[in-house]
Amino acid sequence: MEKDEDGFYNPTPSDAKKPEAPAEPPVDDGKKSDLINSTFEVQVTLADQQQDPNSPLFSVKTFEELGLHEDLLKGVYDMGFSRPSKIQERALPLLLRTPPQNMIGQSQSGTGKTAAFVLTMLSRVDFSINKPQALCLAPSRELARQIMSVVVSMGKFTPVQTEYAIKESVPRSTTSITAHIIVGTPGTMTDLIKRRVIDVTSVKVFVLDEADNMLDQDGLGDQTLRVKNTLPRAPNGPQIILFSATFPDHVRKFADKFAPEANKIELKKEELSVDGIRQCYMDCKNSEHKYDVLVQLYSLLTVGQSIIFCQHRATADRISQKMSAQGHKVASLHGAKDASERDQIIDGFREGKDKVLITTNVIARGIDILQVNMVVNYDLPLLNEREKGADEKPDVETYLHRIGRTGRFGRKGISINFVHDKKTWEQMEQIERALGKKIQRIETDDLDEMEEAMKKTLK
């Protein structure tokens, strides 16, 4: 297949039947566009925010100016995107350059990083060669499935073929995967490569979404490195793309080694919090009282959709069973559930069948469900959980990712931390200090105040 003058592969019409769509931005009527159907009136529009130079959604360029192939432009517009966000505008021209350069890209939660790396993968694939050419790793099957849905939507006008590398996705009898783009989790990806079901010799793009988590030795670092070590080496090695909303210091050095000479887009500490998310706390009397407060909140949790984060699977199970037994409809999701059940639960939540999802850190990162307007940290996220004698420091990165499940792409949201003793109080103060952002108190016995706060925030 021929490359066009910009160096991008140009699929011919014979490659696949492509649906027709104009390569034009969707009509943006300025006021009250794009934003969620909230019961509370939305006053600031996406269009307004994309004009504001201080917003992470701001851009001066159009998608046309970013050097995308026409088929991908159609895909972008078909998804309803009218203007790029700041990270898309800044990253895409660097990502699409010839020769390819590595990238370490940071931008706040919900600001459109997925589109930036998905468009890069789609731009670099030669659709006439039926071999894997782009691999993308994510920390959870839920996120891998979500990324795949973006690949499929954005690639709708191309002949792209895709495959998952997640548990139970590839039958044991499969001997070879010929899809162009493979999205998965590191364990299954390593297994498929080791068994030579995935031939990596033609891989030219390697993406780590939630890269700090994927590289962290406390996280998925070993497994990710194992995948990388199977890929072609320089000078024939792939373009390496690392994206996340957070890059804590202890991972940065390793990220630099993993993606040498990368172009970098970084955030300052004071830019990490998303302005549209109102961060609050409720001072519970003790650990048991947290449950009562959660139940009291139920009517507000179901105004839109909510995610309740617990530190342990057992807590998620316990509170979801208790709430269900008391007649409150909730769903619960964690890593101990089997693959098909996990898919069913997250799909049900995505479709709005369940309004409250009780979970663990398994879906703290990346999950994009626009109707989620409330996140509750039933337990604050902690570091070093497994280390004996660790003094239970808060995990500021995970905190940012958890609350970032709301307030997506300019929407408003509320996060509520439950604190119940001196230790949790101090942990919350450490989070406040780390982010330079005040977390506001809401009284536990004043539902009216809570409702007021919610109305104000979601306006």
Cα(255)–Cα(259) distance, integer angstroms: 6
Please report which helix (H) or strand (E) contains residue 281, including its range.
Answer: strand 277-283
Judged by beta carbon, residue 155 or residue 404, the one nearer ligand ATP is: 404
Length of the chain: 459
Judged by beta carbon, residue 163 or residue 368, the one nearer ligand ATP is: 368
Short-list 246, 241, 213, CA closest to 143? 213
Identify residues 337-356 at the interface with ligand ATP (CB under 6 A). Answer: none
Quick one: which of 69, 408, 412, 420 contacts ligand ATP (CB under 6 A)?
408
- By CB atoms closer than 10 A (0-12, 13-18, 19+), residue 266 is exposed
307 and 334 Cβ atoms separated by less than 8 Å: no
Instruction: Select the span of 190-198, 299-307, 352-360, 404-412 touching ligand ATP (CB under 6 A).
Output: 404-412
Instruction: Select the span of 23-31, 157-165, 173-181, 365-373 touching ligand ATP (CB under 6 A).
Output: 365-373
Beta-carbon neighbour count of residue 248 at 10 Å?
Answer: 13
Quick one: which of 92, 115, 300, 363 contacts ligand ATP (CB under 6 A)?
115
User: What is each CA distance from 363 to 161, 252, 292, 308, 309, in whole angstroms?
Assistant: 26, 23, 24, 11, 9
Judged by beta carbon, residue 119 or residue 192, the one nearer ligand ATP is: 119
Q: Does 139 bind ligand ATP (CB under 6 A)?
A: no
Please report which helix (H) or strand (E) contains residue 105, including its range.
Answer: strand 103-106
The Cα angle at residue 410 between residues 89 and 280, in degrees rounded to 5: 130
Q: Does 366 bind ligand ATP (CB under 6 A)?
A: yes
Q: Which residues pair with 440 in a beta bridge?
A: 280
Judged by beta carbon, residue 115 or residue 358, the one nearer ligand ATP is: 115
75 and 153 Cβ atoms separated by less than 8 Å: yes
Q: Which residues contact 350 (CB under 8 A, 6 or more apart)?
A: 369
Pair of tokens at residue 186: 């590191």
Q: Does 85 bind ligand ATP (CB under 6 A)?
A: yes
1 and 128 Cβ atoms separated by less than 8 Å: yes
Q: Does 304 bind ligand ATP (CB under 6 A)?
A: no
Quick one: which of 245, 300, 308, 330 contacts ligand ATP (CB under 6 A)?
245
Quick one: which of 164, 247, 378, 409 contacts ligand ATP (CB under 6 A)?
409
Cα(82)–Cα(252) distance, integer angstroms: 33
Q: Does 142 bind ligand ATP (CB under 6 A)?
A: no
Quick one: which of 11, 105, 112, 139 contacts ligand ATP (CB under 6 A)?
112
Quick one: which of 100, 110, 132, 394 contacts ligand ATP (CB under 6 A)?
110
455 and 415 Cβ atoms separated by less than 8 Å: no
Q: Does 56 bind ligand ATP (CB under 6 A)?
A: no
Give me the least distance between CB of 309 and ligand ATP, in Å please: 14
The Cα angle at residue 430 between residues 427 and 433, in degrees rounded to 5: 155
Give me the least distance between CB of 70 and ligand ATP, in Å please: 17
**Site size with ligand ATP, rule: CB under 6 A:** 20
Q: Which residues contact 439 (CB under 8 A, 6 or more apart)?
A: 279, 280, 281, 417, 428, 431, 432
Quick one: which of 11, 75, 84, 159 contacts ligand ATP (CB under 6 A)?
84
Pair of tokens at residue 435: 């982010």
Q: Does 212 bind ligand ATP (CB under 6 A)?
A: no
Quick one: which of 71, 89, 212, 368 contacts ligand ATP (CB under 6 A)?
368
Cα(386)–Cα(408) distance, integer angstroms: 31
Give me the least distance between CB of 453 and ligand ATP, in Å please: 24
Quick one: which of 69, 86, 90, 113 contacts ligand ATP (CB under 6 A)?
113
Residue the block writes with tokens 């979404």: 209
Q: Does 206 bind ligand ATP (CB under 6 A)?
A: no
Short-list 100, 177, 189, CA closest to 136? 189
Q: Does 404 bind ligand ATP (CB under 6 A)?
A: yes
Q: Does 184 bind ligand ATP (CB under 6 A)?
A: no
Q: Does 111 bind ligand ATP (CB under 6 A)?
A: yes
Instruction: Select the span of 84-92, 177-185, 197-205, 446-454 touching ligand ATP (CB under 6 A).
Output: 84-92
Quick one: which of 77, 81, 206, 258 contacts ligand ATP (CB under 6 A)?
81
Identify residues 30-49 at the interface with ligand ATP (CB under 6 A). Answer: none
Cα(274)–Cα(86) distance, integer angstroms: 14
Cα(14)–Cα(12) distance, integer angstroms: 5
Q: Does 114 bind ligand ATP (CB under 6 A)?
A: yes
Judged by beta carbon, residue 377 or residue 424, the one nearer ligand ATP is: 377
Give me the least distance between CB of 115 and ligand ATP, in Å please: 5
3-state secondary structure of 136: strand
Residues near ligand ATP (CB under 6 A) are: 81, 83-85, 88, 107, 109-115, 245, 366, 368, 370, 404, 408-409
